[in-house]
């Protein structure tokens, strides 16, 4: 591995966080600073190949941060960054194991996910131009993303045979190649019908494709391509706070729970293996309930 290879891997990880995870600019900046500090620590300890790092060096780094006076919350954030970085390297088959996985620190509180208001979702869905093939495609993508709570990587790889518009469901290949079936509503069905009737044929121009969503060149949509168009639509919809395609997944889960869906059903639709991952959304719903109680209860 070349001497600057670790920095290149860090850049790839940052791109992944932006495109796949849709993290905010501030969060990306924090992760980048944390990772740069860690890579400098590795180099200072004679490690120039990330494969040579281990659990001991991760612990040494965290101890060094503690000795430098860094607060527990900040050290916990550093650990989250390192776990994510190593998890990415395992996912990309660069490493076989995650040395930061078994390192632990006291929890410093979990950030609640950002969600859109219903009226913001409606504005966003109405932004693509339905008179154009790309607008039909993008409108269908936005609706399916929200209707089924998909990850962006799942959305762009949906196959043409994976959607059953008569039964109103989509088959999704999620993390770990695990398939799940998620129902979709009439709004998504309507836009998918329109896209399949005229948008997709106009883009393909007779060329075959196994993918549901395609580009002008007939290729499948990419995460980067959709993410850029999503940001443009968010701006046109006058959504001022920083959102990403993943925000619609958060909104999907939160809106279902707010309207009485049970946690187990939402877990299945999201494709979460552990229900504790889904439970974060119940806190969002609880915060909304507290706000309603405070506003309307006689003794709130």
Do 22 and 245 contact (CB within 8 A), yes or no?
A: yes
For residue 169, what pLDDT is reported?
93
Query: Are the C-beta atoms of residues 77 and 34 closer than 8 Å to each other?
Result: yes
The CATH architecture that domain 118-291 belongs to is Orthogonal Bundle (1.10)
Label residues 31-46 b or e (16+ Cβ within 10 Å = b). bbebbeebbebbeeee
Catalytic residue annotation? 151, 175, 246, 249, 272, 281
79 SS3 class? helix
Give pLDDT, residue 155.
Answer: 96
Domain residue ranges of the chain, discontinuous segments joined by +: 5-91, 118-291
pLDDT reported for residue 287 = 62
Q: Over the stretch 84-111, which tens digit does the pLDDT of each residue have? A: 999 999 999 999 999 988 887 645 555 6
| pLDDT for residue 48 | 87
- The low-confidence residues of the chain, meaning pLDDT below 70, are 1-4, 105-112, 276, 283-300
Full-model pTM: 0.62
Average pLDDT, the chain: 87
pLDDT of residue 104: 73
Q: Answer yes or no: CATH 1.10.150.130 is held by domain 5-91.
A: yes
Give residue 2's pLDDT. Answer: 45
């Amino acid at each position: 591995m070349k001497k600057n290879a670790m920095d290149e891997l860090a850049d790839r990880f940052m791109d992944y966080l932006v495109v796949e995870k849709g993290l905010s600019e501030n969060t990306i900046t924090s992760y980048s600073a944390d990772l740069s500090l860690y890579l400098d620590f590795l180099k200072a300890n004679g490690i120039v190949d990330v494969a040579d790092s281990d659990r001991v060096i991760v612990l040494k780094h965290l101890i060094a941060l503690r000795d430098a006076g860094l607060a527990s919350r900040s050290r916990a954030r550093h650990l989250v960054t390192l776990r994510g970085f190593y998890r990415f390297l395992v996912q990309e088959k660069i490493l076989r194991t995650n040395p930061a996985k078994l390192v632990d620190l006291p929890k410093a509180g979990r950030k609640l996910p950002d969600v859109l208001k219903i009226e913001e979702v409606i504005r966003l869905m109405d932004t693509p131009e339905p008179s154009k093939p790309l607008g039909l495609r993008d409108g269908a993508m936005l609706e399916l993303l929200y209707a089924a709570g998909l990850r962006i990587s799942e959305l762009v790889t949906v196959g043409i045979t994976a959607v059953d518009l008569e039964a109103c469901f989509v088959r999704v290949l999620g993390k770990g190649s695990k398939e799940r079936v998620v129902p979709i509503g009439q709004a998504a069905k309507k836009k998918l019908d329109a896209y399949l009737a005229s948008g997709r044929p106009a883009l393909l121009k007779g060329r075959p494709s196994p993918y549901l969503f395609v580009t002008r060149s007939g290729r499948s949509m990419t995460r980067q391509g959709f993410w850029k168009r999503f940001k443009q639509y968010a701006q046109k919809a006058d959504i001022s706070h920083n959102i990403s395609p993943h925000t619609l997944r958060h909104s999907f889960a939160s809106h279902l729970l707010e309207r009485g869906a049970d946690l187990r059903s939402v877990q299945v639709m999201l494709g979460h293996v552990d229900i504790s991952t889904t439970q974060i959304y119940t806190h969002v719903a609880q915060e909304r309930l507290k706000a309603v109680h405070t506003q309307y209860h006689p003794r709130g």
